[in-house]
């Protein structure tokens, strides 16, 4: 197995030479920047371009925030939020808040919704805690994070004063323009740049993700190192059979051509739930256009076997499944024996939970294959910063290849502007008066 393993034997797909050639050509297009969306391909060589000085600068700013606050609020939405949360949840103890000693600040998130209750409850929770804010927005005017930041900035200034608040805010934004850039320059916030040629859903390995992750205590150097090694493993000179991103992109497109319109990404590790949430945006926003695209859905097993398992096993045969499997857990727990064996589990006594879980995973795979659910398997040696970094870049590269195979521009998102136009018109934003009249006439 390489950095990650990829098993496509359960797909039922033989990859013809024409598809192999197309996948390699699509990969070459990403590197030559001659394909659609070429202005947003900065992520392709991003891991290998991140130097020690950049990591050190991010680490120093993160250390200042960690020293100043018990809670760090990360403000962002979409690609400015999901990648950070995916990595953080994957690498964190889910019960860390129950421990008597919490090392470093707690990271929470804001700006990813418009819930009044959520905002008020966050402010209540911050009332007796020292806190700092990392605000992430290229323009500074995206509605949800802009509202959240306005509220949090006011709370900081009430408590610490204007200068004290400025010392507890870091901004990740455009290099030269935009409302957040202007405010950061006026107030003196430490700032990091969102590269012009990296779209939001591909930005987790820029300061968008690296600054909050470093502030949360993640080893960002290891994260980048894993992505860098995967960049090499999926380079355009790597033969098709040894390039996992090209193989994954090819197989999923062949399945799509056979009528498999839904891809379910699943894992037996709850820590990877938000990796699936990040993946859904990455693929949904990249491929879902021009009436095309595989619909990305996700499950967490074994829990969702008790809710979605029936449909997956016997529902409409328009789906396929990709499972992220983990070889070795970080911890060890062996099931004990009971004298009376009332639950009938003594036959499992002495076995590790991970061994039992592997048998569950294998049993489900066999059942789903018998139920005509094509099954792909991505294998991680373990969940750590290095392997998570590799997994993120693998999915990004495969997404770019897959979008080109599908025949769309995987780096734009024209459809997301439609709801914004309607929302602004309904809220009475200046400049949207004509649209407002048309929309209200439909209500």
| Domain membership flag for residue 415 | no
Looking up residue 113, the CATH number of its domain turns out to be 3.40.50.10490
Task: Give residue 98's pLDDT.
Answer: 78
Q: Indicate whether 103 and 166 sit together in one domain.
A: yes
Q: What percent of the chain has pLDDT over 70?
A: 97
Task: Give residue 179's pLDDT.
Answer: 96
| Domain membership flag for residue 323 | yes
| Domain membership flag for residue 390 | yes
Beta pairing partners, 317: none
Q: Indicate whether 133 and 259 sit together in one domain.
A: no
Number of domains in the chain: 2
Q: Indicate whether 23 and 94 sit together in one domain.
A: no
| Domain membership flag for residue 427 | no
Q: Indicate whether 178 and 257 sit together in one domain.
A: no
Q: Looking at 223, 242, 271, which one is the last position of a domain?
A: 223
Q: What is the arrangement of strands in the sheet containing 262-267, beginning at the earlier edge strand?
A: 4-7, 375-380, 319-326, 262-267, 295-300
Q: Supply angle C-alpha 429, 434, 435, rounded to 5.
A: 70
Q: Indicate whether 314 and 382 sit together in one domain.
A: yes
Candidates 296, 294, 291; CA nearest to 415 is 291
Q: Indicate whether 186 and 62 sit together in one domain.
A: yes
| Domain membership flag for residue 204 | yes
Active site residues: 285, 306, 420
Q: Indicate whether 142 and 82 sit together in one domain.
A: yes
Task: Give residue 99's pLDDT.
Answer: 75
Q: Indicate whether 360 and 256 sit together in one domain.
A: yes
Q: Looking at 223, 255, 275, which one is the last position of a domain?
A: 223
Q: How many Å apart are CA 356 and CA 295, to the nearest integer?
A: 31
Q: How many Å apart are CA 247 and CA 7, to the nearest integer?
A: 10
Candidates 367, 374, 335, 377; CA nearest to 354 is 335
Low-confidence ranges of the chain (pLDDT < 70): 100-102, 433-439
Gyration radius of the chain over CA positions: 23
Task: Give residue 220's pLDDT.
Answer: 98
Residue 373's domain comprises: 4-37+226-406
Q: Indicate whether 395 and 333 sit together in one domain.
A: yes
Q: How many Å apart are CA 160 and CA 168, to the nearest integer?
A: 9
Q: Indicate whether 399 and 327 sit together in one domain.
A: yes
Q: Indicate whether 209 and 174 sit together in one domain.
A: yes
Q: Looking at 173, 205, 223, which one is the last position of a domain?
A: 223
Q: Indicate whether 217 and 76 sit together in one domain.
A: yes
| Domain membership flag for residue 423 | no
| Domain membership flag for residue 422 | no
| Domain membership flag for residue 413 | no
**Would you state the torsion angle of the CA atoms of residues 370, 371, 376, 382, taken in this order, to the nearest 10 degrees?**
-80
* pTM given for the model: 0.95
């Amino acid at each position: 197995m390489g950095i990650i393993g990829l098993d496509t034997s359960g797909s039922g797909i033989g990859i013809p030479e024409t598809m192999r050639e197309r996948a390699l050509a699509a990969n070459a297009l990403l590197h030559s920047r001659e394909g659609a969306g070429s202005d947003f391909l900065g992520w392709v060589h991003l891991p290998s371009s991140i130097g020690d000085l950049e990591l050190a600068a991010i680490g120093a700013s993160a250390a200042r925030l960690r020293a100043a606050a018990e809670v760090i609020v990360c403000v962002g939405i979409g690609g400015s939020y999901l990648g950070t949360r995916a990595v953080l949840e994957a690498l964190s103890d889910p019960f860390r808040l129950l421990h008597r000693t919490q090392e470093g600040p707690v990271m929470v998130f804001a700006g990813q919704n418009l819930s009044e209750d959520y905002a008020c409850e966050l402010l209540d929770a911050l009332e007796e805690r020292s806190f700092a804010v990392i605000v992430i927005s290229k323009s500074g005017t995206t509605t949800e994070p802009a509202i959240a930041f306005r509220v949090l900035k006011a709370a900081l200034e009430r408590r610490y004063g204007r200068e004290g608040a400025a010392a507890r805010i870091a901004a990740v934004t455009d290099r030269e323009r935009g409302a957040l850039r202007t405010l950061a320059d006026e107030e003196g916030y430490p700032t990091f740049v969102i590269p012009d040629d990296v779209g939001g859903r591909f930005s987790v390995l820029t300061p968008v993700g690296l600054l909050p992750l470093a502030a949360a205590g993640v080893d960002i150097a290891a994260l980048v190192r894993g992505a860098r090694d995967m960049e090499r493993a999926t380079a355009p000179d790597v033969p098709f059979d040894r390039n996992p991103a090209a193989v994954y992109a090819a197989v999923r497109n062949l399945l799509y051509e056979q009528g498999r319109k839904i891809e379910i990404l699943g894992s037996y590790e709850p820590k990877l739930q938000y990796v699936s949430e990040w993946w859904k945006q990455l693929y949904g926003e990249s491929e879902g256009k021009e009436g095309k695209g595989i619909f990305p859905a996700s499950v967490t097993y074994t829990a969702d076997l008790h809710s979605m398992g029936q449909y997956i096993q016997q529902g409409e045969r328009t789906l396929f499944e990709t499972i992220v499997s983990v070889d070795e857990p970080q911890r060890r727990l062996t099931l004990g024996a009971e004298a009376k064996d009332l639950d009938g589990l003594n036959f499992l006594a002495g076995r590790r939970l991970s061994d039992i879980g592997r048998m569950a995973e294998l049993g489900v795979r066999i059942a789903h294959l018998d139920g005509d659910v094509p099954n792909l398997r991505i294998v991680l040696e373990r969940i750590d910063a290095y392997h998570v970094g590799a997994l993120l870049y693998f999915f990004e590269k495969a997404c770019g290849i897959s979008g080109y195979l599908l025949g769309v521009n995987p780096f734009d998102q024209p459809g997301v502007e439609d709801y914004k136009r309607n929302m602004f018109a309904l809220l009475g934003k200046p400049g949207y008066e004509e649209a407002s009249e048309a929309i209200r006439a439909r209500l």
